[in-house]
Structure 1
């Protein structure tokens, strides 16, 4: 391992309330166990709402309409209070659904609560209906995302802060608490690797939160990203193992443990691999059994 970046294992906690009494308390139990076992990062995905037609049109979307989408920034604050070591992230946060200054405050607060354990993964979203229902503008959301990052870093540097952009304009603004990590709080972007997407990742973030894709495409994408950023510090890459299309019930038959896929993702250039235990576990005890070979592989 001396010649490569240290591998990290992340656990997606979505729907793991099913391993207990069905409440958020069960997610906290799962988070505590994963933290104690040495999982590096705990993540939750984000949607404020799911539109029926948009979901049915979204190829590969694995979650049922009644899945519990706990708001991640709120949830991770609770998780921070019951964990010690694991870092906290999202996969991914639909950032433009939130006003920029409020987003900066929410992330800074979470970083303060967790004593500097936050790394955010931000995306631009794909459901027009979700934007319209939350009174946000869908068209131009990538530009919104860019400006949000600029606003966050301006405010995280401490007041008086100034920003003059196409949508947000302020001078002499103070927003506390500051995140313990300050402007170095890691930001990853969950964008497609178009020419503009690569430029945004290189200019605005410390890394790429890759969407699910075939292994060869992922390997080629990492090489493409690295080739485009040869003059910058190496960008971190987070990748999630594939979720089956039907993730509505645990213990589906014929689904392989994700160990081999996790190993392949690490070898292909992922620094962090996110696994989801839903298809393999019914209980907290199952979760420990699920994680053990992945943690051993991470450390090998």
Structure 2
């Protein structure tokens, strides 16, 4: 099992390239960046974490710019989205961006995808929240066509184009791993339909592991489990290791270097305790 970190890259915290270089130097396997294109000033949708929406949600850099900065500052680290809100992107443009970063990084991109929780945010992009899951599937499938076909076509209810050329193709074959985020009641269907793995948030009720076991055992192909929001607790790490998780990811705070490094120290201490050190 590998270990990574998540980060809201904001303009007033340690920059994405600096954080990526730091966690690579410290031996982490991956870094995943959050995305919000904007936050509507008047929100009806409650924050799914409960309470007030944290300030960092309003101040993130653009996801693709952030991932590019991290890729160029590192040589081994896996660079991921945690998660990319696909329903807020044009799929042809997003396919080009992801393929470009994967090509420039030498094949180090992990594409975590989701439809999001903030209904006003997605509505501002012209997305109907009621059909966002179907829209996300079509956009991901369309990108997979663009990544793998010299002349790509896709015909769906929401995405439709005929015979396009788009290079570069991703360095990874056939394309970067697609990891579906979320804990909704139908997320397993989305993983099975078009993804390489599941990317849920850790929940204290331990519901991830039994759902993962059922998903893995019922799949007709190998799938991976990566878990976001994992606490710096060796007991939790041990549970995921025993369940066969591919990686676990711990959020670092959007702070300057000092507080961020102390949080990284705590994460590393939990990993060391898992290994009996």
For normalisation by structure 2, the TM-score amounts to: 0.86
1:116 paired with 2:107, answer yes
Distance change (3 Å), C-alpha of 1:99 and 1:298: farther
Distance change (3 Å), C-alpha of 1:268 and 1:54: farther
1:192 paired with 2:168, answer no
Equivalent in the alignment of 1:205: 195
Equivalent in the alignment of 1:32: 21
Whether the aligned pair in 1 keeps the contact of 2:113 and 2:181 (CA below 8 Å) is yes
Pick aligned residue for 1:276 from 245, 251, 260: 251
What is the distance in 2 between the residues matched to 1:259 and 1:298?
5
1:240 paired with 2:228, answer yes
- How far is the alpha carbon of 1:202 from its aligned partner? 1.3
1:90-110, Cα deviation, whole Å (9 max, x unpaired) = 221111100111111111111
Pick aligned residue for 2:7 from 7, 13, 18: 13
- How far is the alpha carbon of 1:198 from its aligned partner? 1.7
Whether the aligned pair in 2 keeps the contact of 1:239 and 1:272 (CA below 8 Å) is yes
In structure 1, the residue corresponding to 2:225 is in which secondary structure?
A: strand
1:138 paired with 2:129, answer yes
In structure 2, the residue corresponding to 1:183 is in which secondary structure?
A: coil
Residues 62-211 of structure 1 aligned to structure 2 (within 5 Å): 63-65=53-55, 67=57, 68-192=59-183, 194=185, 196-211=186-201
Distance change (3 Å), C-alpha of 1:55 and 1:137: closer
- How far is the alpha carbon of 1:294 from its aligned partner? 4.3
What is the distance in 1 between the residues matched to 2:157 and 2:203?
34
| Gap runs ≥5 in structure 1 | 1-6, 244-256
What is the distance in 2 between the residues matched to 1:241 and 1:128?
22
Whether the aligned pair in 1 keeps the contact of 2:8 and 2:34 (CA below 8 Å) is yes
Whether the aligned pair in 2 keeps the contact of 1:131 and 1:138 (CA below 8 Å) is yes
Pick aligned residue for 1:286 from 257, 262, 276: 262
Equivalent in the alignment of 1:219: 209
In structure 2, the residue corresponding to 1:110 is in which secondary structure?
A: helix
What is the distance in 1 between the residues matched to 2:210 and 2:66?
34
What is the distance in 2 between the residues matched to 1:14 and 1:8?
20
Whether the aligned pair in 1 keeps the contact of 2:47 and 2:53 (CA below 8 Å) is no
Whether the aligned pair in 1 keeps the contact of 2:85 and 2:116 (CA below 8 Å) is yes
How many corresponding residue pairs?
273
Whether the aligned pair in 1 keeps the contact of 2:234 and 2:274 (CA below 8 Å) is no
Pick aligned residue for 2:36 from 47, 56, 61: 47
| Gap runs ≥5 in structure 2 | none
What is the distance in 2 between the residues matched to 1:62 and 1:179?
39
What is the distance in 1 between the residues matched to 2:258 and 2:250?
16
For normalisation by structure 1, the TM-score amounts to: 0.80
Whether the aligned pair in 2 keeps the contact of 1:45 and 1:93 (CA below 8 Å) is yes
Whether the aligned pair in 1 keeps the contact of 2:228 and 2:250 (CA below 8 Å) is yes
